[in-house]
Amino acid sequence: MMDLPGWLKGSVVAITNLETRLRVGIWEHERQFQPVRVNLTMSAGGGCIDHRPIVRWIREQWPAAPHTPLLETRLRELADFVFASDPGIVWLDVALSKPQACPQARGVGLRMALSRAEHALWFSPARAPAHLV
């Protein structure tokens, strides 16, 4: 029998096409709220994940964040929040998409997959945006 990575041994929770409204982008009109679709896949190793606080934050609190020009910043904020909100989450695949960014496509966005250890290595909590602390 093959030995599976630790993040595959427990529950994996997926949140797909969750829509929120954020102020993000380099164009003047993107200083206003626009729809942003969120896709998350999270693993808790051997534990459970309560998705409700994450969904609540995405829909109710995150939109209060000030405008930022880069979707990469929003991707980082979401990864920071998910790992901070549940110490049992060991792996995260997160994608953000702006459905109005390109009329020829369903959306334009970014995706990042990383472990808790990679997140700690790459992103210092001291550099987290103030509205997340």
66 in a structural domain: yes
pLDDT tens figures, 69-81: 999 999 999 999 9
Q: What is the CATH number of the domain that holds 79?
A: 3.30.1130.10
77 in a structural domain: yes
Domain count, the chain: 1
d(C-alpha 111, C-alpha 97), whole Å: 9
101 in a structural domain: yes
d(C-alpha 128, C-alpha 131), whole Å: 8
d(C-alpha 78, C-alpha 58), whole Å: 8
The neighbour count for residue 51, using CB atoms within 10 Å, is 16
pLDDT tens figures, 71-116: 999 999 999 999 999 999 999 999 999 999 999 999 999 999 999 9
Q: Which domain holds residue 96?
A: 12-116
pTM: predicted TM-score of the whole model, two decimal places: 0.84
Q: Which helix (H) or strand (E) holds 72?
A: helix 71-85
